[in-house]
């Protein structure tokens, strides 16, 4: 595998694990503030991010590449309102999308068609992630400015269930 493509994929493992850590910090914030449904949504999101890291790990290993795990940074977003994590999540997904696009661009430039095909799933997934986190903000703005709406939105987010990724690597 091209050294730079390999380096970027390895680095993406860290970014996905950081994403998981960041979303866990959001789940912690909501749980602490008794919004267990919001916490559920972000706890599941944190699990999905670990799944993404494991897909990248497996892809590198399946291609005979070694993994080098790095330290995971402390999630240091400060939340001053219940809306803050929602905006933070959306902005973070835009960052992840740019990162995936950057790997794709490098893979394309060295004609690494296999990695491009592997990343197709992530590119589609990022569209979902951006849409989902944007929806959180818009629903919050629509319903949650008063307490009854916040209560109901908390119940809706509490109904989210974990689903494993649709991409499976042996
Ligand atoms: Fe992800």
Name 99's Cβ contacts closer than 8 Å, sequence gap at least 6.
12, 15
Expressed in angstroms and rounded, the spacing between residue 62 Cα and the centre of ligand 1 is 20
User: How many CA atoms lie less than 13 Å away from 113 in the CB half-sphere?
Assistant: 0
Instruction: Give the chain's count of helices (H) and strands (E).
Output: 5, 0
pLDDT at 6 over 90: yes
Expressed in angstroms and rounded, the spacing between residue 35 Cα and the centre of ligand 1 is 24
Expressed in angstroms and rounded, the spacing between residue 161 Cα and the centre of ligand 1 is 17
List pLDDT tens digits, range 12-29: 999 999 999 999 999 999
List pLDDT tens digits, range 83-93: 999 999 999 99
pTM for this structure? 0.96
Characterize 150-167 residue by residue with b for buried, 16 or more Cβ atoms within 10 angstroms of its Cβ, and e for exposed.
beebbeebeeeeeeeeeb
Q: Does domain 3-158 have CATH number 1.10.3720.10?
A: no
* Residue 52 backbone dihedrals phi, psi, to 5 degrees: -60, -45
Q: Which two tokens stand for residue 143?
A: 């319903």
Domain boundaries, the chain: 3-158
């Amino acid at each position: 595998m091209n050294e730079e493509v390999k380096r970027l994929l390895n680095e993406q493992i860290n970014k996905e694990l950081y994403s998981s850590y960041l979303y866990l910090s959001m789940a912690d914030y909501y749980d602490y503030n008794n919004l267990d449904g919001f916490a559920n949504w972000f706890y599941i999101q944190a699990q999905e991010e670990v799944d993404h890291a494991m897909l990248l790990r497996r892809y590198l290993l399946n291609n005979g590449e070694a993994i080098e795990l790095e330290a995971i940074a402390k999630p240091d977003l400060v939340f001053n309102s219940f809306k803050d994590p929602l905006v933070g999540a959306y902005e973070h997904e835009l960052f992840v999308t740019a990162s995936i696009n950057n790997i794709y661009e490098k893979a394309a430039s060295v004609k690494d068609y296999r990695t491009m095909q592997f990343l197709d799933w992530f590119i589609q997934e990022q569209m979902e992630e951006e849409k989902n986190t944007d929806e959180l903000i818009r629903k919050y703005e629509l319903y949650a400015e008063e307490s009854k709406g916040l209560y109901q939105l908390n119940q809706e987010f509490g109904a989210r269930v974990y689903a494993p990724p649709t991409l499976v690597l042996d």
